[in-house]
Amino acid sequence: MSNARALRPLADEIRTIPELLAAPKPVEVVAGTFDEGTVCLIGGYWGTAKSFHAVSIAGAVATGTAWYGRTAAQRRVLYIAAEGTYGIGARFHAWATHHGVTIPDRELEVMTVPVQLTDPEKVAELCKVIEAHQYRFIVVDTLSKSIVGADENSAKDMSVAVSALYDILDATNGGNVLVLHHTGKDKTTVRGSSALEAGVDIAYLSESDGDIFRLKRTKRKDGPLEDERSFELVPVDDTESVTLSVRWGADMTDKAKTLLSVLVQNFGALGATKAELRNVSEMAPATFHRSLKSLLEQGHIHNSGTEARPHYKPTETTIPS
């Protein structure tokens, strides 16, 4: 907890149910992906493109460019390259070139040394930097290099690190913190104490299968859980790196492709409710639900509404041939 919040009287932190219901909904910094005011985690084994995911998200937020079809709010970004800066500049250059955008110098900056999250003085110093420069989106790449000397398997040590992440979040004035961490040998469970994944608001798992890189949401405190997207790494001309590009599912059925075309051609980026899409598609109920499920699982569409009142939007507005 930040010092400012800790100094406020507890009585000031009490709310009635009507007051809670009247509070504004969190802004989606990246539509269907990250809500404002959250600590987010991407966990993955080495070689699963964790940093490439972080670079693409940071670039989209810094420029206000859609993140592979999902709108992104523009925020000032600080990327903490705890594992070293080699290759980071080239990756951002490749991402920007691929998307035809320029990243303004002061909208995305890179810290070239790690900040030890178990050192209160260093965390406090970082928070002052964030507040002074008004950074709203912080990337910590990676956690292991930011807790040197701590025991990853210790719930106590990991809880200290998680608490520091929330101190950093407080310094962003309602922004976001995205932290990257490695999975264990099973490639599906975040390495170390479960206190990390339990403590964050949103968690994604980064996986690879040959040249396919998947990003799957495994936790979300508020809103729909289901979210999975597939990518591939592609070379970018006139750069010294590669970048991520959405990979359309090779196993997409003709019916699923038809339903996606119906969504894009009739509703565009605004998307549609389940009832609206079903009515326009004129598909048999079983075929519609099977195709809809397939598009969600492959990440071609996402639910920007709720589980009770889904609203489906296309990930991309270009339909695969």
* Inter-residue contact 138 to 174 (CB < 8 Å): no
Grade residue 249 by pLDDT with cuts at 50, 70 and 90: low
What mean pLDDT is predicted for residues 307-311? 89
Domains, the chain = 23-246 (3.40.50.300), 254-314 (1.10.10.10)
* Amino acid 5: pLDDT: 56
* Inter-residue contact 168 to 127 (CB < 8 Å): yes
pTM of structure: 0.79
Per-residue pLDDT tens digits for 127-169: 999 999 999 999 999 999 999 999 999 999 999 999 999 999 9
Lowest mean pLDDT among 80-84, 117-121, 311-315: 311-315
Q: Does residue 120 carry a pLDDT above 50? A: yes
Q: Does residue 171 carry a pLDDT above 60? A: yes
Q: Does residue 242 carry a pLDDT above 80? A: yes
* Amino acid 321: pLDDT: 45
Q: Which two tokens stand for residue 9?
A: 């009287």
* Amino acid 217: pLDDT: 95
Burial of 132 (0-12, 13-18, 19+ CB in 10 A): exposed
The secondary structure of residue 195, as a DSSP letter, is: H
What mean pLDDT is predicted for residues 256-273? 87
Per-residue pLDDT tens digits for 1-58: 445 556 678 898 899 999 999 988 888 999 889 999 999 999 999 999 999 999 999 9
* Amino acid 250: pLDDT: 54
| Per-chain mean pLDDT for the chain | 90
* Amino acid 278: pLDDT: 94
Exposure class string for 218-247: b at 16+ Cβ within 10 A, else e: bebeebbeebbbbbebeebeebebbbbebb
Q: Does residue 319 carry a pLDDT above 60? A: no
Per-residue pLDDT tens digits for 63-115: 998 888 788 999 999 999 998 888 999 999 999 999 889 999 999 999 999 99
Q: Where are the beta strands (DSSP E) in the chain?
A: 28-30, 34-35, 38-44, 77-81, 108-111, 137-141, 176-182, 202-209, 212-220, 228-235, 242-246, 272-273, 301-303, 311-314
* Amino acid 6: pLDDT: 61
Instruction: Please give the residue that has the higher pLDDT: either 31 or 201.
Output: 201
* Amino acid 62: pLDDT: 98
* Amino acid 251: pLDDT: 57
